[in-house]
Each structure stands twice: as C-alpha cells, then as structure tokens.
Structure 1
Amino acid sequence: MIRLLKTEDFESAANIAALAYPGMHIQTPESKQAFIDRLKKEDEEQNGIQYFGYFNEDEELIGIYRLNEFDCNLNGRFQRIFGIGMVAVHLLHKKEKIAFKLLSHFHEYARQENVSLVSLYPFNPSFYRNMGYGYGPMKYEFKIKPSALVSNGEKGLVQFLSSNDEEAIVSLYNDYAQQHHGMIKRTWNERLRIKNAVTNYVGVKENEQLIGALAFTLEPVKDSHFLHQQLIVHEWIWSKPSAYKQIAAWLQSQQDQVDRIIFRTNDQSFLFALTNPLNDSNHLIPSANHEVATTGAGLMYRVCNVISFVHTTNFHNLKRPEEFTRILIKIEDTFLNEQNGLFEVVFNGDFWNATKLETSKENANISIGIHDLSSWWMGCVSIEALHKYGEVTLFNVEAKILDEWFSPSITPICFTSF
C-alpha cells in the first residue's frame, strides 16, 4: 500500500533515507532529529511538497518518495509539472520492485491530477531511462579565473543583499524564469534559503528596482592553505545586460582573494562572455582543443500523459502547419501501458489534437520511445539528430519540419534542485 506519510511515519522515513543517502549526513541522533523536524515543517506548510510511503502487509514503511509540485516555463508559458525526489528503499527490501511501485504510483498520481510532464534528478540515468525518462539539458561547470570576466561594467553599483530583499529577489527570479524555457518559479524551499541566508547575495538596483542578483559562497580550495579560496556561484540572474556587466566587473575585481570562480549553467554560450575560458585541468583534447568546462547529464523529463501534453501545451510559440496536418506517432512505453501504442496527432488550423488509436493498418510517420519523445518535445534534442543516430524511424515526413512544429528551438534552463 502506498499513502501519504503521517507525522508518526517520519522517524522510519529518516532511517530509510539515512541508509539510502549517506551523503545527506543524517546518521547521528542529532542530525536525524533535525531531518525529522524538517519533514514535519515541510508537512505543515503549503509548499507543493508531499511525502509518500510504501507499506508492506505488516504496516512497515519500506520505501519513500517526495513529490514536488512546480510551475515550469514550457516554451513561454508556465504550466504545472511534478518532480520526484528522495526515492529510497529499505536496505532489507532491495530487488523487490519497491522503486518500480513507487514510480508507478507517482506517474498515476500525476495523470490523475492532469499533470502531463514529470521530472527528476537520477541516481543512475540508465535506470530511469528504462522507466521512460529522457535526458534533459547538459550542465556545464566552468572554472575560470576572475580575470577571465570582462570588467567594463560599474562594479561600484553592486551591493550586498539581505533577507529583507527576499521579495525583490523572488520577483527578479520569476521574471527571469518567464523569459527562459525550462525554468521553474521560485519554490518554497528556495525562499527559505534566502530567509536563512544560506548563501551570500549581491545585486544591482536601478531606480530602487533590483535588476541583477548573484548568490555565492566562498570555499577553501581542497588540500591547500587557508588563504587559497574559490567562489561558487549558485545563482546568477539579471533583467538587463548592464546588470550582468556590473556583477561581472565585481567578480573580476575579486582576483586578489579568489583563485577560481565556479559557475554551473545549462547555457553553453557563457563561453563567449569570457576572455579566457580555460579551466584548471590543463587538459588538451586532440587536436589542440583546450578544456573549458566539464559537463554532466542530470535533470530528466518524462511525458506521462501524451494526450494531455499535446492539448495543454498546444506546442505554443512554434511554427504551425499551413494546412490540415495528420501525424501518426507510434510510441514505445513499456512502463505506462496506457501510452504504449499508436497516437494520431492532428492540426486543424488552430489547435493540435491527440487521440490514441486502438487499431490501424497505416504506417506510423514516427516510431519513437517515450524517453526520446520527452526529450524532443522539451527541446533537449532534435528529431533530426535522433533519426541520424537511428533512435527513431520516420516515414513519409521530414525531420526538419517536425522539429519546427514540435520542439522548442532553445534548450531548457533549470536552476532548481529537488
């Protein structure tokens, strides 16, 4: 049985999480109690967070997951999506398909709530790919010298921000999210971090309005002396290029105290804002390609209701067919049987409409796995590229036109961890 966790379940949930995620450092009685208190606080607030647990016949809790409800920018419009996190199974009950049942419950709950897109950060990408999740945007970790940033902004306009600036930071952040596909509106947890000053904030104001902000921490360089520091950028947002320039100039001025600035972003074009993008690896990729960033695959997406996704997004802001168009898509989804099969997607002049066909002797125009469909419809990969690698089969339709109709031209950007 899977149900919402109650207050009396939180201690058992903490025990499961402690063994499943030793990196969370909740093994001591004190840290475990702090984690339980956190669960209680999250449970009491209206924050879009819910904890579910799998209970066996003896009412013993043997698996948990956290559901996060978000407002996400899908190609220019905020829409409700779910994110799953903290999937954990009791150490004595591994290989009993508990994780499978938890994910199945999560997907079914999303469908009941008419949420068509879900996401997660995987502990193992291949595990979740097998469950129908497609790869999301690449994350680039730049590790640059402060002098690599252009310094022609007015660094004197940069000032420290405090928790009193919470609403201004949130407003700027949500405006930034409105302009960037894939961004999630500021969450309750992120607001809490601002209130508790978990990071330092600096910003730029114009006519009393915040137009740029950067969250950072200073950390000692591992295995070095106490004067050797690096600056970790946790968030960098701006509404005007001048605000970016001013904060960049301030960062550039830190070179007497900071050895390297670490900036993690989905935006590979950040390279072009640097005079010297090289990191500290001294690694050369043949032939004469200097390493400028390390990359990682993290966030993954899954369309869990194809028909609802088509109807709610209507693929807005994308090119439309010039006439009535009918596309047959054969989707392989072995995890959600409701989505395994043939779908008819029709454009009638104003809207895209999707219907599942029970039987048809026609050839599908597109044959694709749900994982690749999810990545394609989120703009993480083109169907032209998928076709080139043999991951999809196309019949009597052009890949380039399909990309114009169904895939955002920009890769998602996401700052939110969950």
Structure 2
Amino acid sequence: MNRKVIPVPEADFDSLVTLIGNAYPGLKLNTVDSIRSFKERMLKTLADDSGSRIYGVYEEEQLLGTMRLYDFQMNLFGVSLLAGGVGMVAVDMLHKKEKVAKDLVESYLRHYLDKGAAMALLYPFRTDFYKKMGFGMGTKMSKYRIPPGNFPKGAGKAHLFFAKPDDSGEIAACYQRFMRTVNGLIERSREELSRLVEHPDHRTVCFRKDGKVLGYMVYTFKNINEENIMQNDLIIKEWVYETPEALQEMCSFLHSQSDQINRVVFYTQDEYFHFLFDDPRNETYRVLPHVYLESNTQGVGVMYRILSVKRFFQQVAHHCFGGQTLTLALTVRDTFLRENHGSLTIRFEEGYPVITDDAAGDVVMEVDIAELSSLVMGAVTLKGLLKHGLVTLSDMAYADQLHQLFLTSEKPMCMTAF
C-alpha cells in the first residue's frame, strides 16, 4: 500500500466534490447546479484565504479521502499562538475502514508539528474516534430558547444601531479586542466578519459608545408556522459584548420584541449565562429529578490536542500557572504521537514554567494526552480529573496545589466554525 497525503490539485476538484457529497449527504450535492456552486465556493474561499488548504490521501493516483487544514492564531493565555485546525474530513465510501481517516489525521498533526505549533483543534463527528487519537474535550455549548419578555428590560437602547456594510471595520475591531481577552478564541479577519454581517439573511445590531463599537449581535429569523408568517423565532448567530452595558442594551432590544418573536434562540459557552434571567426555562417544561426545571440543552464540540508537551510549556512560559512554586514530573501517555509519550520535568517558579533536565520532581502526575490537553486549556479542573480517576498523583498531598496551578478563571471559548 503506497499512500501519500498531498494538496489536492484543482484538476481533481470534480472528484473531490463527488467524494465530499457522498460523505456528507446533508450538503445535498446532487444536482449540476449544486455541485458547480459548491466547487466554485471552495475555489473562491481557498483563493481568498492563504491560511487554508485542502489535502487528500492518494493511492496509485486515486483520491481516497480529504481534509481541509487551517492556520489559526489562537489566544492562549493572552498571547496569539499558531494552532492547527482541521475540517471537512471525508473518506470515499468504498474505502471506509481502511485507515484513510487515520492517515489524514496523522498527516494533519505532523503538518503542524513541522510548522512549530503546539496545539491543534477540531470539531468531532464522533468524540471517541478523536479521543483515541489524543484529542481532549473542550467547553460544552448550551442552547437556550428564551421568550423575549424574559430578557432583562434594562435601561434602554440609546446606544444601539443597525449595522451597515461600512461598519464592518468597527465590528472586526470589536471582535479582535474581545478575542484578546478570552482564552481559546481565534483571530478572524475583517473579510470573515463581513461575510457574517453582510449575509442577506442576517441582521446586525451594534452598541456604540464614545465613538467605539463595544458589542454586536448578528441574528436571523425562522418562521415557526408556515401558516402564520407573523410569528418567528429570532436566531442569534453571534453575540459579542465587551461591557455589561452593551449586554444590557442588547437584552433590552430582545425584551422589546415580544409582539412578534416567539423565542430567542442562542448558543453560548458561558456556563453562568442563566443567572441573567429570572426565568431561564425553555418551552419543554420538563422536570429532572428531584425538581430541576429544564433550561437548556448541551453538546460537546471543539476538541484540543497538545502536539508537543515540551513545546507547549515553552510557548506559554509567559503565563503564570496559579502563582504556584513546585517541580512537577509529568508522565504523559500518547500512543498516537510516540515522540510525545514519556516523562518531562517542569519547574514552576511562582507560576512560571521552565523545562528542566531534573529527573526528580516534588510530585509525579500521570495523565493521558487527551485529558492533559483539556486540563491545560482550562476545560476541566485537576480535581475533576482526579475525582473520575483520569489522572494519578504520586502524592495526594499536592492535589490542592496542582489544582490551583492548572485552574483558569474561565473555560476556553471557540466561536469560529471550520
């Protein structure tokens, strides 16, 4: 078996579209027009975005599978670092269970190792498939369906306006400032945000104060009954706010839509968002034992993977890990990237990490690369892992100190679809 993973040439894009259409039937690439349109969109996007490219697995010149790689700049503890993303992983249906996807993912990881990245991320089609390859789960996404009248009325809407195309620069600047304050967020270009804001089905409300856009909400409508065009759900596609005042005025805007809006549907990774409401219940009226009123549904999504443990701690040497001072002997299980498997000693001086050649440590921590990736991103706490037997310590007396060392003030967020 002589396989190679290379960029897919434009001459193979017809075969590529057929493969993707079969792998993702929900795309409905089943007409001449839909196939042509999808191909044109891919070619245009790739031409516009130098940080993205489509790769394929070839065997004797036959395309067996494909993936799209993304060069991301991710905010990791306040510094923008290269992180590798992968999407559109697809395998020819005649070649399933032939380790084509494994070849793709391994090539993806090595591609970003070679580029100097320490972290990779993806959206899984199945979490167990990628967990076996060392990816750890990130922050859960919550879906809320709230009557508009349940949003806080607030003090008014004096600083709100509907965005026009020439406001996209200010909106992009707002996102970039917000991104720099939130761990895990990915940089996005003005062009990316313009496509979101200028989509013909989207509306954008902005909050501007002192000459600066400090928040925006992109939304669309969904009719809840084809026999009644007057009743719709308002679907929030993206919601960013830099200040509580910006949030409150946009809540006032939503509160005032009760006459024609059935529910406001939005998605958030903020685990405290329900505190905003006096009544956060959704419309199912289900009760969980003993008496817990259903407020939202949740899902797991973005997954993270450390590509090189040593490189990761070198790249985050600027970050203070809980102000703790100790020497940690870290033993990592990584069966997919064997060079990452083994032990590493890290000295933390008042929270700042330095890799040492010392074999000894104050405490030895054994952990799988998947759980370690979730831990260092802040998606889970050390005590959460200890509680479920997913990490072991040579001396439990260090549990509290290590918990504080890896504790982050907020869980990581990802608002970029790929």
TM range (shorter): over 0.9
Between the two proteins, the alignment pairs up a number of residues equal to 413
Q: Which residue in 2 is equivalent to 1:336?
A: 337
What amino acid is aligned across from residue 240 of structure 1 in structure 2?
A: T
Alignment of 1:329-408 (within 5 A): 329-347=330-348, 351-354=352-355, 365-396=364-395, 398-408=398-408
CA apart distance, 1:362: 8.9
Q: Distance in 2 between matches of 1:186 and 1:153?
A: 32
CA apart distance, 1:178: 1.2
Q: Which residue in 1 is equivalent to 2:188?
A: 186
Q: Which residue in 2 is equivalent to 1:249?
A: 252
Alignment of 1:39-78 (within 5 A): 39-57=42-60, 59-78=61-80
Q: Which residue in 2 is equivalent to 1:81?
A: 83
Aligned 8 A contact 1:163 1:196 in 2: no
Q: Distance in 2 between matches of 1:33 and 1:219?
A: 28
Decide which moves more: 240-249 or 293-302: 240-249
CA apart distance, 1:19: 0.8
Distance 1:18-1:190 versus aligned 2 partners, 3 A rule:
farther
Aligned 8 A contact 1:76 1:317 in 2: no
Q: Which residue in 1 is equivalent to 2:269?
A: 266
Q: Which structure 2 residue ranges, 5 or more long, are not aligned?
A: none
What amino acid is aligned across from residue 336 of structure 1 in structure 2?
A: L
CA apart distance, 1:339: 1.0
Alignment of 1:206-221 (within 5 A): 206-221=209-224
Tell me, what secondary structure is at the counterpart of 1:345?
A: strand
Aligned 8 A contact 1:75 1:408 in 2: no
State whether structure 2 residue 96 is matched by structure 1 residue 100: no
CA apart distance, 1:399: 2.2
User: What RMSD over aligned residues (CA atoms) do the two structures have, in Å?
Assistant: 2.1
Aligned 8 A contact 1:137 1:297 in 2: yes
Aligned 8 A contact 1:83 1:118 in 2: yes
Distance 1:112-1:389 versus aligned 2 partners, 3 A rule:
same
CA apart distance, 1:333: 0.8
Distance 1:361-1:406 versus aligned 2 partners, 3 A rule:
closer
CA apart distance, 1:409: 3.0
Q: Which structure 1 residue ranges, 5 or more long, are not aligned?
A: none
Q: Distance in 1 between matches of 2:216 and 2:69?
A: 29
State whether structure 2 residue 32 is matched by structure 1 residue 33: no
Q: Identity rate of aligned residues, in percent?
A: 29
Aligned 8 A contact 2:381 2:406 in 1: no
**Structure 1 residue ranges, 4+ long, deviating more than 6 angstroms after superposition:** 360-364
Decide which moves more: 87-96 or 70-79: 70-79
Q: Which residue in 1 is equivalent to 2:409?
A: 409
Aligned 8 A contact 2:68 2:89 in 1: yes
CA apart distance, 1:242: 1.4
Q: Distance in 2 between matches of 1:12 and 1:388?
A: 49
Decide which moves more: 404-413 or 304-313: 404-413
Give me the TM-score of the superposition, normalised by structure 1.
0.93
Q: Distance in 1 between matches of 2:33 and 2:355?
A: 53
Q: Distance in 2 between matches of 1:381 and 1:315?
A: 21
Distance 1:39-1:266 versus aligned 2 partners, 3 A rule:
same
Aligned 8 A contact 2:147 2:264 in 1: yes
What amino acid is aligned across from residue 36 of structure 1 in structure 2?
A: K
Distance 1:261-1:342 versus aligned 2 partners, 3 A rule:
same
Aligned counterpart in structure 1 of residue 132 of structure 2, from 130, 135, 154: 130
Decide which moves more: 202-211 or 287-296: 202-211
Tell me, what secondary structure is at the counterpart of 2:152?
A: coil
Q: Distance in 1 between matches of 2:70 and 2:177?
A: 21
Q: Deviations over 1:212-261 (max 9, x none)?
A: 21000011126773332100111111222211111110110001010100
Tell me, what secondary structure is at the counterpart of 1:152?
A: coil
Distance 1:153-1:186 versus aligned 2 partners, 3 A rule:
farther
Q: Distance in 1 between matches of 2:50 and 2:167?
A: 20
Tell me, what secondary structure is at the counterpart of 1:179?
A: coil
CA apart distance, 1:364: 7.0
Distance 1:42-1:310 versus aligned 2 partners, 3 A rule:
same
What amino acid is aligned across from residue 347 of structure 1 in structure 2?
A: F
Tell me, what secondary structure is at the counterpart of 1:83?
A: strand
What amino acid is aligned across from residue 352 of structure 1 in structure 2?
A: P
Aligned 8 A contact 2:120 2:306 in 1: yes
